[in-house]
Amino acid sequence: MRIRDILRRKGDAVATVRPEATVRQLLAVLAEHNIGAVVVSPDGASIAGIVSERDVVRRMHERGAVLLDRPVSDIMTSEVRSCGPADKVEDLRRTMTEHRIRHVPVVEDGRLAGIVSIGDVVKSAIDELESEREHLVGYIQNVQ
């Protein structure tokens, strides 16, 4: 299975915020879309960084409520791991596990083309197992 297969099912919409948006505005986007991370992008196509709920919680613990009015660029992760639509889901699963990351932007031709979460990757594995199970059950029933 490829990353494009996940995007076909879930869609390619990606919530983004500009680097100068405040953390308060970021939280509004996370809540509005019921998501755990947002790509930081000055133009909706390039990637300046990524910021998650976890990033906000950790920085709030360090800096307090003053963080809410600071720019997202203060807390974002600048070195973002990304993948392409043709990449194997299995490879992404390994990368996400090894590097303890839960959201990976999908880039195609240098532009943001989607985002995949660890939940999407797990769902694809479950779907594959279910499909294999159905094929095996059908095979066994036909053999008997």
Give pTM, 2 decimals: 0.85
pLDDT of residue 61: 95
pLDDT of residue 69: 96
Q: Which tens digits make up the pLDDT trace of 39-93?
A: 999 999 999 999 999 999 999 999 999 999 999 999 999 999 999 999 999 999 9
Is 90 exceeded by the pLDDT of residue 142?
no
Return the amino acid letter for 87.
Answer: D
Q: Please give the structure tokens belonging to residue 109.
A: 């031709």
pLDDT of residue 126: 84
Q: Which tens digits make up the pLDDT trace of 113-134?
A: 999 999 999 988 888 878 777 7
Q: How far apart are CA 101 and CA 96, in angstroms?
A: 5
- The rounded Cα 24 to chain-centroid distance in angstroms is 20
Residue 57, Cβ density class (10 Å: 0-12 exposed, 13-18 middle, ≥19 buried) = exposed
Q: How far apart are CA 73 and CA 10, in angstroms?
A: 28
Is 80 exceeded by the pLDDT of residue 135?
no
Is 90 exceeded by the pLDDT of residue 3?
yes
Q: Which tens digits make up the pLDDT trace of 11-42?
A: 989 999 999 999 999 999 999 999 999 999 99
